Amino acid sequence: MPSLATQSPPELTALAAVPETHAWVALHDRPYADDSVPVVDLACPDAARLIGRACEEWGAFQLTGHGVPVELLRRVEGQARRLFSLPSAHKLMAARRDGGSTGYGSAAISKFFSKQFWSEGFTVIGSPRDDARKIWPDDHEDFCGAIEEYSRLMNDLARRLMHSMLFSLGLSEEEIGWAAPLKAHHEGMPALQLNYYPRCPEPDRAMGLAEHTDSSLITILHQSSGVAGLQLLRHGGGGGGGGPRWVAVEPVTEALVVNVGDLFQLMSNGRFRSVMHRAVVDRTRTRISVAYFCGPPPELKISPVEKLMGPDQGPVYRGVTWPEYLHLKKKLYNEALTSLRLSGDKE
């Protein structure tokens, strides 16, 4: 899950060329493919099976029929644009503090790289009001109202998706009671991440956000209509000889992108795969994305479900709580999940 650093970013939109601080050389480290990410209608009677297949084969899918009003998607995107269009000095009023998890800045994974990302971010955990007041002391209600309504609907949608994903694995609500959509709400640690990718004069030399997996159970993403930027790393299947290759997630009108996170891969004992993904930038258009990260209650240890183990197979991973895993991720980055493997094999 991206969090924020406090350094002051340059005014990226004012730059006529990519500076060396932001120049990446590994953008074309793997081939590209024209595969299409599966699209699933949640209202379809066969949705659970289709979701399960997409999670096994891709680790992600685009979701229609989700019930989130398009007007709300536009409101949230509009408020994100309002935020990121402010001067840097204004935005830095809500910069993430040392040891904190919310506010404005660049992605925490920046520390693993010598080059900077062509992006900005703003993280909300719980209420957005404290940070929003720092930016708009007297004019934060529209921003907070949109974010709070969106978070509520994302929480409801995440639980519906969890139900479908577990059902596709042959699991019942009783077996994973804390994830059941109709039971009492548990206070997990859901986080909302607003991402801003400005237009870039040399998109082949800049990186919006480097490849990573998410620490969550699942992530639900809204991305700007008509502006591609999200890419998934596809292993096997389709064309391209079966080797790993980047697949662009072309925006589908009113669709949300859902991807499997590390904790769901752990819980499913490797049946569902946490997908590696990244964000690239565009020469002429800015892109906004809004990511909702859904996780388990913080005190709950997530372990592989015994029912999902084969007759001669034990657990692939040791159990971990979400806070423990977030700590691992901050230290080990994309090797965090591998470090939990009981067999010692690589992912």
Q: What is the mean pLDDT of residues 89-108?
A: 90
Domain-located, residue 196: yes
- Give the whole-angstrom CA distance, residue 56 versus residue 237: 12
Give 122's strand partners. Answer: 104, 194
Report strand pairing: 191-197 vs 120-125. Answer: antiparallel
| 283: CATH | 2.60.120.330
- Give the whole-angstrom CA distance, residue 187 versus residue 70: 27
CA-based end-to-end distance of the chain: 19
Give the side-chain half-sphere CA count within 13 A for 88: 13
Task: Look at residue 196 and tell me whether its pLDDT is greater than 90.
Answer: yes
User: pTM to 2 decimals?
Assistant: 0.92
Model confidence at 242, in pLDDT bands (50, 70, 90)? low
- Between 168 and 33, the more confident residue is 168
Contact status, residue 257 vs residue 60, Cβ threshold 8 Å: yes
Give the side-chain half-sphere CA count within 13 A for 197: 25
- Give the whole-angstrom CA distance, residue 220 versus residue 105: 21
| Enzyme catalytic residues | 287
Q: Strand runs (DSSP E) across the chain, as ranges?
A: 4-5, 32-33, 39-41, 60-64, 103-107, 120-125, 191-197, 209-212, 218-223, 230-234, 245-248, 256-260, 277-279, 287-294
Domain-located, residue 199: yes
pLDDT tens digits along 315-324: 999 999 999 9
Q: What is the mean pLDDT of the chain?
A: 89
Supply the pLDDT for residue 190. Answer: 74
Q: 7-21, 212-226, 306-320: which range is least confident on average?
A: 7-21
pLDDT tens digits along 103-141: 998 888 988 999 999 999 999 999 999 999 999 999 999
Model confidence at 186, in pLDDT bands (50, 70, 90)? very low
pLDDT tens digits along 1-16: 443 344 445 688 888 8
Contact status, residue 131 vs residue 124, Cβ threshold 8 Å: yes
Report strand pairing: 277-279 vs 230-234. Answer: antiparallel
**DSSP string across 262-297:** HHHHHHTTTSS-PPPEEE---SS--EEEEEEEE---
Residue for token pair 């993280």: 123
Domain-located, residue 22: no
Q: Is 145 left (phi over 0), alpha (psi -120 to 50) or beta?
A: alpha
> Considering its fold, how many domains does the chain have in total?
1
Domain-located, residue 135: yes
Domain-located, residue 248: no
pLDDT tens digits along 162-182: 999 999 999 976 777 665 443
Which residue segment(s) compose the domain that 195 sits in? 68-224+258-340
DSSP 178: G
**DSSP string across 12-52:** GGG-SS--GGG--S-TTSS-EE-----EEETTSTTHHHHHH
Supply the pLDDT for residue 209. Answer: 97
Domain-located, residue 280: yes
Q: Is 166 left (phi over 0), alpha (psi -120 to 50) or beta?
A: alpha
